[in-house]
Amino acid sequence: MCKDPWSTANKIDTTATLFAGEGRAVNSTPTVNESVEFHFVIDGKVRTLSSQNTSDEGGTITGLFFVPTLDKKDPCNEATARYVPSNVTRQEDVADYGYKLIGLAPWISVNCTQAYFAAARAADAGAMVVYRPTDNQTKKPPIPQSNSWNLDDKGLWRSQNHYPVYAIPGPSGNYLMDQLALYSGNKTLDSIYGNASHANSTNISPFGQLGDIRLFTMIYLQPASTVFWPTWLVVLVIFVVITIFVVWWLVHCRHWFQQEELLTNRRGRELVRQENFERHRMRRLREQKVPREILESLPLYKYPDLAVPQQAILAEECRSKALLHEDKTTDPAPKRSTFAFWREINGPNSEDLILPAPSTVTTRGAGLSAEGELKEEPKGCQPWKTQTTCAICLDEFTAGESMVRELPCNHIFHSACIDRFLMQRGNFCPLCKKSVLPEGYYPHLPAVLPMQPPPMQNTSRFSVF
């Protein structure tokens, strides 16, 4: 249902009515024989072309059908002669009954239609019904905006006429025009009935004294707010709305899935980027060279001349024992450092042991105390008791001759081998891969994540140089 700015006609009901008195239509007494009775209804096939002087609330327009009379010299009389009979009901045939007049005219050309509209205005018609006589379609006439109703005045004719104009199908208009010729003022009841016995008694019927028979018409109007769309149009609108909603929903879902996929890919790329950065950072940590001042702070001494135990104690066992040793606060056995043990063997005046200067570098396991002496270790955990070969050059240590350097992880190497390794290769122990740099000492690493870390290099973990 939609709203139009005016009321529209949906039904025209035309009936042959007997006027028995002056200005009154008799509806209660059957005055017309069944053989001549006429009742014609046009329902749902009336098109409103203009709605001048009609109420938006609907209602009915009642009156008598007639054909407006053109000027005798108007060429449209000859042009419409084949569609308008000469004995059709005219204005003078219905003017004395006191009802509104409703005009009926064919729409054949611009000039003739304008002439009929002018004649209807002169007759003070209450409405006008037009039809296209050459159109044999019985469906509802075209819409008002169609070129079928164009009079070359840009629609000005709608406002020039003070009455509403309605269009009906061509066959219906031709049928009504023929009936207006039958029920006109120059026809007697005898000619209509075809009964010769009534020829000498004009206007006499079995029902008594008769009057004139005219076509009484009622045009039913729908209110402006109750104009219904056709069923096919309603179905089409619903289908279009559902289609638009489905398309919108599919597009929205596709956009949502694309956004989710984009975010997922972005998160994946970010994770890969972080992982590559961590790998790059770890590689940079391993490649960080050991400065000379930190290298010189690591213990440096000659390899002792002692017999190696039959079962070497591993570094992990030594570190675990060292931890247990630190937890024991009351140990009756005195502990000896590597330096003290060396003095016991070589005498107090030995000058073969090179001690580094006091340093604040923190070391793990064996190392130097704040007073410059080696830290105490558990018995049997001296690094030279578990290592007899340099892991870099694979040469055995020579007691009393080989200069070894001890790393914070308690592993020892030839000083020449480990010094060159730490200053050129990296800062990690060749055996356990632990860094020899103090915690927090990474001055050359980037503080923020680079936009694109360099690709990882495939370096063998077993290569040394």
pLDDT at 442: 63
| Alpha-carbon 91 to chain mean position | 65
SS3 sequence of the chain: CECCCCCEEEEEEEEEEEECECCECCCCCCCCCCCCCCEEEEECCCEEEECCCCCCCCEEEEEEEECCCCCCCCCHHHHCCCCCCCCCCCHHHHHHHCCCEEEEEECCCHHHHHHHHHHHHHCCCCEEEEECCCCCCCCCCCCCCCHHHCCCCCCHHHHHCCCCEEECCHHHHHHHHHHHHHCCCCCCHHHHHCCHHHCCCCCEECCEECCEEEEEEEEEEECHHHECCCHHHHHHHHHHHHHHHHHHHHHHHHHHHHHHHHHHHHHHHHHHHHHHHHHHHHHHHHHCCCCHHHHHCCCEEECCCCCCCCCCCCHHHHHHHHHHHHHCCCCCCCCCEHHHHHHHHHCCCCCCCECCCCCCCCCCCCCECCCCCECECCCCCCHHHHCCECCCCCCECCCCCCEEEECCCCCEEEHHHHHHHHHHCCCECCCCCCECCCCCCCCCCCCCCCCCCCCCCCCCCCCCC
Q: Say which residues have a Cβ less than 8 Å from residue 454's Cβ, sequence separation at least 6.
A: 280
* Residues 6+ positions from 274 with CB-CB distance below 8 Å: 449
Quote the tokens at residue 364. 């793990």
- For residues 21 and 211, is the Cβ–Cβ distance under 8 A? yes
Question: Rounded CA gap, 215 and 89, in Å?
Answer: 9
Q: What is the per-residue pLDDT for 213?
A: 85
Distance CA 191, CA 185 (A): 12
Per-residue pLDDT tens, the chain, 465 aa: give them.
Answer: 444 455 688 888 888 887 755 444 444 434 444 444 688 999 989 999 998 888 777 789 999 999 999 998 999 999 999 999 999 999 988 888 889 999 999 999 999 999 999 999 999 999 999 999 999 999 999 999 899 999 998 889 988 899 999 999 999 999 999 999 988 765 433 443 344 333 333 333 333 445 678 899 999 988 865 556 788 889 999 999 999 999 999 999 999 999 999 888 888 888 888 888 777 777 777 677 888 888 888 999 998 865 444 333 444 445 454 444 444 444 444 444 444 444 554 455 444 444 444 433 333 334 444 444 444 444 445 665 678 899 999 999 998 889 999 999 999 999 999 999 988 888 889 999 888 888 777 655 554 445 444 454 444 444 444
Domain map (residue ranges) of the chain:
8-232, 292-326+334-424
414 closest CA partner among 388, 381, 377, 385: 388
Report the pLDDT value the prediction gives residue 394, as an integer from 0 to 100: 92
pLDDT at 242: 95
* pLDDT value, residue 77: 92
Q: Which residues contact 445 (CB under 8 A, 6 or more apart)?
A: 281, 284, 285, 288
Neighbours of 150 (CB within 10 A): 12
pLDDT reported for residue 227: 54
Q: Give the pLDDT score at 284.
A: 72
